[in-house]
């Protein structure tokens, strides 16, 4: 079970992800979380930096789908102006939304990566669906109340894994 909580890759932010390396591995699609992965959980719109990153993905020939546990209103308000397909109320870490995203992009699971900021939702869900997972540092130090609870548990698990040599990256 603990292996399902380990990401395949860890990066400080979405901007540190080497898109050329992903393309060389055959990656053609990105499933990304929204809140505290792309923008702060309380920011309604994409920043110019996020827009530029999304443009880089498209220029690299990659499809993008947002998979979020948030409401339709929240995710739609962010995704539609950017022309991004989205799945709201995803119930991560369940596999269903990840599989739906792959089907919507018409890609096999070995052609897709999952990018997110939480191990109990994004990483666990992506791993359960058989996808390559990339954990990023949250873009904001504040969270909604439910996420704050997850973050406490996440710190405990990550510290335990680090003490046992299961993870090699440095804390932020």
Q: What's the CATH architecture for 2-163?
A: 3-Layer(aba) Sandwich (3.40)
What phi, psi does 31 have (nearest 5°)? -100, 120
How many whole angstroms separate alpha carbon 47 and alpha carbon 6? 29
pLDDT of residue 170 exceeding 50, the answer is: yes
For residue 171, the 8-state DSSP code is P
Phi-psi region of 117 (alpha: psi -120 to 50; beta: other; left: phi over 0): alpha
pLDDT of residue 172 exceeding 60, the answer is: no
What is the reported pLDDT for 155? 84
pLDDT in tens, 122-169: 999 999 999 999 999 998 766 666 667 777 788 888 888 888 887 776
Mean pLDDT, all residues of the chain: 91
CA distances 79 to 1, 33, 157, Å, are 33, 11, 32
């Amino acid at each position: 079970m603990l292996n399902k909580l380990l990401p395949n890759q860890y990066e400080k932010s979405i901007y540190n992800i080497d898109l050329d390396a992903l393309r060389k591995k055959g990656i053609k699609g990105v499933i990304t979380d929204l809140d505290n992965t792309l923008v702060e959980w309380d920011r309604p719109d994409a920043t110019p930096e996020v827009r530029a990153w999304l443009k880089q993905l498209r220029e690299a020939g990659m499809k993008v789908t947002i998979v979020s546990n948030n409401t339709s209103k929240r995710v739609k308000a962010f995704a539609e102006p950017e022309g991004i397909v989205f799945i709201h109320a995803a119930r991560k870490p369940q596999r269903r939304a990840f599989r739906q995203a792959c089907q919507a992009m018409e890609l096999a699971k070995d052609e897709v990566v999952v990018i997110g900021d939480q191990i109990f939702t994004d990483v666990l869900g992506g791993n359960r669906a058989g996808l390559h997972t990339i954990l990023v540092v949250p873009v904001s130090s504040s969270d909604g109340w439910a996420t704050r609870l997850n973050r406490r548990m996440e710190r405990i698990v990550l510290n335990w894994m680090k003490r046992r040599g299961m993870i090699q990256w440095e804390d932020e």
